[in-house]
């Protein structure tokens, strides 16, 4: 093994000490569940890893120089979130702190071809993955554009009787909203990718240096998910023997991260921009066709009818994912959008001229 610098070894030692502390706190949170034992055993494994890093310190570095571990404010804050909302709701944040075993909060099988026994204590919200998740995100992006720009147009129209001003405001609102959505989506996906790449780098280094310890940790996770000790050990050893597959599995099982869930940051940004722009364009179309001041009331009615149809359509489409009735989902979305538009219109009327 290549000799590490004192700073590299010390940083790895600190990370393992932090992980051990987090595991003990998570075990306390999960007291009385099958996950309590998992986190306690992972805490012991993390302490062993810290000892291994301590042994890898350069000869010029004395172990007596090691400081005692004290949790940072960040760690304490994240633990308070885990206690309040449940560890499964802050799973991505815990993964960023190198907490393993997070796949016990997942409802998917541990391995392709193996069904995980039902775990009554696994409380994880249903997630939409793959293409269905992308379609769902696009629908909600369109809905965001519809509601926000229609509300803006209503508010401006109530305050001003000039269709040109409504058009300028609506166009600015469309672009501002679409760019904001795109920027937010880019940062979100990019941050997720950076987290995944960082964690995979750590796992790869540990897999190369301590394969047996990684196999033991993986076996603990499988055991906590319902497999017998013998089955869990055999599965873990089989996976660790294939480094490429092992790295992918460690990301899924130890960190609860799925490399296939992440797409391109630029692709996500463009998709968000287009989805929001499509929604924001619908209430704006009548004002692009005509800017006759005498027709403002007519243009506004056409705009709102188009928006209502769009809201009902997106709400109905969402029912395919929620399992609710098509008509109920459509009317609910229409009701929410109407409430937002009414509030914007009343504020515009109060701040500007008399209502249209």
Same domain flag for 21 and 143:
no
| Same-domain status, 268 and 145 | yes
Per-residue model confidence (pLDDT) at position 154: 92
Burial of 244 (C-beta count, 10 Å sphere; 0-12/13-18/19+): exposed
Query: 140 and 13: one domain?
Result: no
- Same-domain check for residues 55 and 173: no
75 assigned to some structural domain: yes
pLDDT for 55: 73
The tokens of 227 are what?
Answer: 């497999």
Residue 117's pLDDT is: 36
Nearest alpha-carbon partner for 142 in 344, 299, 337: 337
Question: Residue 108: what are its φ and ψ, rounded to 5°?
Answer: -95, 165
**Is 54 within a domain?**
yes
Residue 29 lies in a domain: yes
Whether 179 and 268 map to the same domain: the answer is: yes
Asked whether residue 338 is domain-assigned, the answer is yes
Is 112 inside a domain boundary? no
Do 218 and 255 contact (CB within 8 A), yes or no? no
Paired with 114 in beta bridges are 111
HSE of 146, CA atoms in CB hemisphere, 13 A: 25
Q: 182 and 93 in one domain?
A: no
**Total number of domains in the chain:** 2
- Cβ 158 vs Cβ 292: under 8 Å: no
Mean pLDDT in runs of 10 for the chain (356 residues)?
Answer: 61 84 92 85 85 70 67 90 88 78 62 38 38 66 93 90 88 95 90 77 73 77 77 82 74 66 80 94 92 81 94 86 79 92 90 58
Domain boundary among 99, 126, 148: 99
Q: Which of 52, 78, 99 is the last residue of a domain?
A: 99
What are φ and ψ of residue 355, in 5° steps?
Answer: -60, 150
Range of the domain at 289: 134-189+262-351
**Residue written as tokens 């679409």?**
178
Determine contact, residues 87/33, Cβ cutoff 8 Å.
no
- SS3 of the chain: the string is CCCCCHHHHHHHHHHHHHHHHHHHHHHHHCCCCHHHHHHHHHHHHHHHHHHHHHHCCCCCCCHHHCCCCCCCHHHHHHHHHHHHHCHHHHHHHHHHCCCCCHHHHCCCCCECCECCCCCCCCCCCCCCCHHHHHHHHHHHHHHHHHHHHHHHHHHHHHHCCCHHHHHHHHHHHHHHHHHHHHHHHHHHHHHHHHHHHHHHHHHHHHHHHCHHHHHHHHHHHHHHCCCCHHHHHHHHHHHHCCHHHHHHHHHHHCCCCCHHHCCCHHHHHHHHHHHHHHHHHHHHHHHHHCCCHHHHHHHHHHHHHHHHHHHHHHHHHHHHHHCCCHHHHHHHHHHHHHHHHHHHHHHHHHHCCCCC
Would you say residue 71 lies in a domain? yes
Same domain, 159 and 277: yes
The answer on 61 and 10 residing in a single domain is yes
Instruction: Select from 181, 254, 177 the least CA-distant residue to 217.
Output: 254
Residues 172 and 319 in one domain: yes
The 10 Å Cβ neighbour count of residue 228 is 10
pTM of model > 0.85: no
What is the distance between the alpha carbons of residues 154 and 176, in angstroms, rounded to a whole number? 17
Domain-terminating residue out of 99, 119, 143 = 99
Are 337 and 279 in the same domain? yes
How many whole angstroms separate alpha carbon 338 and alpha carbon 332? Answer: 10
Same domain, 179 and 312: yes
Domain assignment present for residue 311? The answer is: yes
CA distance 214 to 217: 5
**One domain for residues 24 and 159:** no
Q: Is residue 243 part of a domain?
A: no
User: For position 98, what pLDDT does the model report?
Assistant: 75
């Amino acid at each position: 093994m290549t000799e590490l610098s004192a700073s590299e070894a010390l940083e790895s030692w600190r990370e393992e000490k932090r992980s051990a502390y987090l595991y003990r706190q998570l075990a306390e949170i999960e007291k009385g569940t099958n996950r309590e034992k998992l986190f306690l055993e992972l805490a012991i494994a993390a302490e062993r890893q810290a000892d291994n890093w301590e042994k890898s310190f350069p000869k010029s570095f004395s172990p007596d120089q090691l400081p005692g571990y004290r949790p940072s404010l960040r760690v304490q804050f994240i633990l308070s979130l885990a206690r309040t909302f449940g560890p499964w709701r802050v799973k991505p944040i815990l993964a960023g702190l190198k907490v393993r075993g997070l796949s016990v909060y997942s409802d998917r099988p541990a391995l392709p071809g193996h069904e995980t026994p039902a775990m009554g204590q696994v409380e994880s919200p249903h997630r939409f993955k793959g293409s269905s998740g992308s379609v769902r995100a696009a629908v909600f992006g369109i809905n965001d554009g519809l509601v926000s720009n229609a509300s803006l147009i209503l508010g401006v129209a109530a305050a001003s009787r000039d269709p040109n001003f409504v058009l300028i405001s609506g166009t600015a609102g469309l672009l501002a909203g679409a760019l904001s959505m795109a920027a937010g989506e880019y940062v979100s996906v990019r941050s997720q990718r950076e987290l995944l790449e960082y964690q995979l780098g750590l796992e790869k280094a540990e897999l190369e240096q301590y394969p047996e310890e990684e196999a033991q940790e993986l076996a603990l996770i499988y055991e906590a998910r319902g497999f017998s000790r013998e089955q869990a050990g055999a599965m873990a050893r089989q996976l660790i023997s294939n480094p490429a597959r092992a790295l992918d599995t460690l990301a899924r099982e130890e960190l609860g991260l799925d490399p296939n869930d992440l797409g391109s940051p630029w692709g996500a940004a463009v998709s968000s921009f287009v989805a929001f722009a499509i929604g924001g364009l619908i209430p704006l179309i009548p004002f692009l066709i005509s800017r006759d001041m005498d027709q403002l009331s007519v243009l506004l009615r056409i705009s709102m009818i188009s928006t209502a149809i769009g809201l009902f359509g997106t709400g109905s489409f969402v029912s395919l994912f929620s399992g609710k009735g098509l008509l109920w989902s459509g009317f609910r979305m229409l009701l929410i959008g109407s409430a937002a538009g009414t509030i914007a219109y009343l504020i515009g009327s109060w701040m500007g001229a008399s209502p249209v």
